[in-house]
Structure 1
Amino acid sequence: MQFKPVPAAPESLDVLETVRRAVPRDPESTNDCCARLVERTEIESRDAAAAWLIFLRALECASEEPSGFARTRRDLEPEDLRRAFRDRVCGADELLARLEAADEPLSATATADRLGGTDSRSERRDRSNRFEERREERVERLLEWAALLGLAERTDGGYRRD
């Protein structure tokens, strides 16, 4: 299963650990996981907390139980995070493949264009500007997470496969 929400990448993996620790070990111990994340972290809204919960699930740092979300009981290992990111975050593996195939670093816009390469010209023309902005923002977030996880490198010209 792949997951689509991608929160903005933090400055360090310590923030990921802080957010993960805000998720209860026992999902029955809290009535509202989103409120708990907002209270215990620097996440500012319920919508952002919901995106984080789904992203944590994608990275196998949390699970969704019938009674709510629960924090996993294992340590965060960089290799496990990288594997989960590639396998379980929608578009991450394809994005990394595009970076690897590129002869030069790619900006978020260039990466988004390469990811959208299967659309016809008329389909691209018909997209709203807002759709393109959201798509490019998501690609930027994927690139930032890839860099944070050591799967890509930020350069002056954009990003390249690490």
Structure 2
Amino acid sequence: MRLKPVPEPPAALAEIAEFQRAVPLVPGSTDDCCARLRDRRDLPNRQRANDWLAFLRTLGLVRETPRGFVRTDADPTPERVREGLRDGVLFVPEALSLLRSATPAEPVTADTLFEATRESVPRHDRARDADWERTWRDRADRLLRWLALVALAAPIEGDGPRSADGNHGGYVAGGALEDA
């Protein structure tokens, strides 16, 4: 099963370690871990903290034990984050496939990724969110920015295309994707 939540990516990969350090070394309940993440990383609410906790777990930076969550000894290297994204985050394989065929003239945008995955958005997400299309377009934008953070995607320079809601322009395959 692949993870759906995709938190706002940090400005730099090194910031992921700060999120990881906000998770305790001694197992703590989900509520305790979310409270620590919210307080230490200035997150607006428990849901955002829970999304980060799940995301860090997918990246192998946090693990769940019978007594709760703990941070792992793993460093948030670009390779680890790339592997976690590829193996555990919903629609990353589709995004990578689109990026492989993208060109500067026809880059991948949040809208492109959303349209390519629209039919695969879980039915219950559509049913519980009246504005699910915007929610999933925003998720596509965050996902592409995560891929760019770890060089799986490269933003188009200059005044490239923007999505309908004004989000970042398009992306093409990044150096790490070309090397893979």
Q: What is the TM-score when the length of structure 2 is the normalising length?
A: 0.78
Report deviation, 1:19. 0.5
Query: What is aligned with 2:147?
Result: 146
**1:21 Cα deviation after fit:** 0.6
Q: Could you say what the CA RMSD is over the residues aligned between the two structures, in angstroms?
A: 2.5
Identity over aligned pairs, percent? 39
Report the Cα offset of residue 101 of structure 1.
Answer: 2.1
- 1:52 deviation in Å? 0.1
Aligned-residue offset at 1:44: 2.1
1:53 is aligned to: 53
Letter in 2 for 1:45: N
Query: Which residue in 2 is equivalent to 1:123?
Result: none
Give the deviation of 1:113 after TM superposition: 0.9
Residue 66 of structure 1: how far off its partner (Å): 1.8
1:91, distance to aligned residue in structure 2 (A): 1.1
Q: What does 1:60-79 align with in structure 2 at a 5 Å threshold?
A: 60-79=60-79
Residue 84 (str. 1) matches residue 106 (str. 2) = no
Gaps of at least 5 residues in structure 2 are: 162-169, 175-180
| Unpaired segments ≥5 residues, structure 1 | 120-125
- CA drift at 1:30: 9.2
Q: Deviations over 1:132-154 (max 9, x none)?
A: 11110111111010011111011
Structure 1 counterpart of 2:171, from 140, 159, 162: 159
Distance 1:107 1:18 in 2: 29
CA offset digits 1:36-73 (Å, max 9, x no partner): 11121132211100000000011111011122211011
- Distance across 2 between alignment mates of 1:8 and 1:81: 14
- Indicate the residue corresponding to 1:109 in structure 2: 111
